[in-house]
């Protein structure tokens, strides 16, 4: 960021470090108006970081038209996040073919998100490795691990570690932990933290928690909170919610997560309130979670309204959950419809949607039987 105009640096600091959307946006819009170099790129990436992809896309297209540095990679990332993979590939492929740094790896990462493109992804990961992209060993290892090629993945993680990649240290520790080598995993997580990869604190905390070393786990969670790690308050709240006598501390942590705009804050707080039997408060938080983009909350609201006999509201939320692609929604909605005398035609529509979104086979079979009655 040091090569950016001070106004852009200040805006991105307000966004990244202080979560102050409005103040950052004001500075960035002023920078765009004054045509500060790379201001549209900065504004577009800012919007994308807040999940506002539809707003970010035209800004980044304008940045690309102005040939602002980084615009192509940023726009391709936004398009992939919006589900427009082919459009992202069209942007990345020409520069990747020319060997422009960064494009081969982002193209590989984009393709790797889709199983049908795994062979093409591997081709571009190997290209990125040949170009000595510093992030390539770790990213390729993650891809290999997702395909079950764990021993190959470890080899590339060690290559990344040798080059000083702290993310590779974290992922290698995870691989060791999965293999049952917890003590060595702890050493690599600690090495990552001491090298500046403080996100490893949350891995350490979870490892200690699962090992029932609760004091060590809490120490890591507290350090993660102090360091301002994303989702730290939420994860600390979940940890505390499972400890006897720590209910007040857990609630304070969830509320802090909401104050700090952690993405899953409202959702996890809603689940916690529901467990405590505070259903009405949970409903309020489910609605806030939906505003945050957490569509899983629709199904919880549907069940809540169904249990209260509020059929119209229940159906609205079942339909919203189904439209959002929640794979758990079809069976719940189908049972709701069947219990309320819905036609076979409506059940067949749910069945078609269940198949479309990849609902569990057991659920699909049950819906098939209901639709035939």
Question: Are residues 104 and 30 part of one domain?
Answer: no
Question: Are residues 90 and 55 part of one domain?
Answer: no
Does residue 199 lie within any of the structural domains?
no
Q: How many domains does the chain have?
A: 3
Domain that holds residue 350: 318-373
Does residue 48 lie within any of the structural domains?
yes
Question: Are residues 345 and 364 part of one domain?
Answer: yes
Q: Would you give the DSSP letter of residue 115?
A: G
Angle of helix 103-112 relative to helix 71-81, nearest 10 degrees, comes to 0
DSSP of 252-268, one letter per residue? Answer: HHHHHHHHTT-TTHHHH
Does residue 1 lie within any of the structural domains?
yes
Question: Are residues 45 and 122 part of one domain?
Answer: no
Distance CA 262, CA 281 (A): 19
Question: Are residues 67 and 22 part of one domain?
Answer: yes
Question: Are residues 91 and 69 part of one domain?
Answer: no
Question: Are residues 107 and 35 part of one domain?
Answer: no
Does residue 335 lie within any of the structural domains?
yes
Tokens standing for residue 167? 């993310």
- Taking only the tens of pLDDT, the chain with its 373 residues reads 557 999 999 999 999 877 789 999 999 999 999 999 999 999 999 999 988 999 999 999 999 999 999 999 999 999 999 989 999 999 999 999 999 999 999 999 999 999 899 999 999 999 999 999 999 999 999 999 999 999 999 999 999 999 999 999 999 999 999 999 999 999 999 999 999 999 999 999 999 999 999 999 999 999 999 998 989 999 999 999 999 999 999 999 999 999 988 989 999 999 999 999 999 999 999 999 999 889 999 999 999 999 999 999 999 999 999 999 999 999 999 999 999 999 999 999 999 999 999 999 999 999 999 988 6
Question: Are residues 76 and 3 part of one domain?
Answer: yes
Distance CA 344, CA 372 (A): 7
CATH of the domain at 3: 1.25.40
């Amino acid at each position: 960021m040091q090569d950016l105009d001070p106004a852009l640096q200040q805006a991105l600091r307000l966004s990244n470090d202080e979560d102050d959307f409005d103040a950052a946006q004001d500075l960035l819009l002023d920078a765009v108006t004054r045509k500060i170099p790379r201001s549209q790129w900065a504004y577009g990436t800012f919007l994308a970081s807040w999940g506002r992809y539809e707003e970010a896309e035209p800004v980044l297209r304008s940045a690309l038209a102005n040939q602002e540095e980084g615009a192509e990679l940023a726009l391709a990332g936004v398009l992939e996040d919006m589900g427009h993979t082919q459009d992202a590939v069209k942007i990345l492929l020409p520069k990747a073919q020319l060997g422009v740094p960064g494009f081969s790896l982002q193209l590989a990462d984009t393709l790797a998100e889709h199983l049908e493109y795994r062979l093409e992804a591997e081709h571009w990961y190997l290209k990125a490795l040949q170009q000595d992209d510093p992030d390539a060993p770790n990213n390729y290892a993650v891809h290999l691990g997702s395909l079950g090629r764990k021993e190959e993945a470890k080899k590339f993680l060690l290559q990344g570690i040798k080059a000083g990649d702290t993310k590779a240290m974290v992922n290698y520790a995870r691989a060791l932990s999965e293999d049952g080598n917890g003590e060595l995993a702890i050493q690599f997580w600690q090495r990552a933290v001491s090298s500046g990869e403080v996100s490893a604190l949350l891995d350490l905390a979870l490892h200690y928690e699962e090992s029932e070393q609760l004091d060590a786990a809490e120490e890591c969670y507290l350090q993660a909170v102090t360091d301002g790690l994303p989702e730290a308050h939420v994860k600390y709240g979940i940890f505390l919610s499972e400890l006897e006598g720590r209910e007040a501390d857990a609630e304070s942590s969830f509320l802090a997560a909401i104050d700090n705009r952690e993405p899953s804050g409202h959702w996890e707080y809603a689940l916690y309130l529901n467990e405590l039997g505070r259903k009405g408060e949970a409903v309020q938080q489910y609605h806030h979670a939906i505003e945050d983009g957490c569509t899983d909350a629709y199904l919880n609201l549907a069940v809540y309204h169904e249990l209260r006999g509020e059929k119209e509201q229940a159906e609205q939320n079942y339909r919203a959950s189904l439209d959002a692609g929640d794979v758990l929604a079809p069976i719940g909605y189908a049972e709701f419809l069947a219990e309320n005398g819905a036609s076979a035609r409506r059940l067949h529509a749910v069945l078609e949607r269940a198949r479309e979104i990849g609902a569990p086979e057991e659920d699909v079979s049950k819906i098939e039987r209901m639709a035939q009655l």
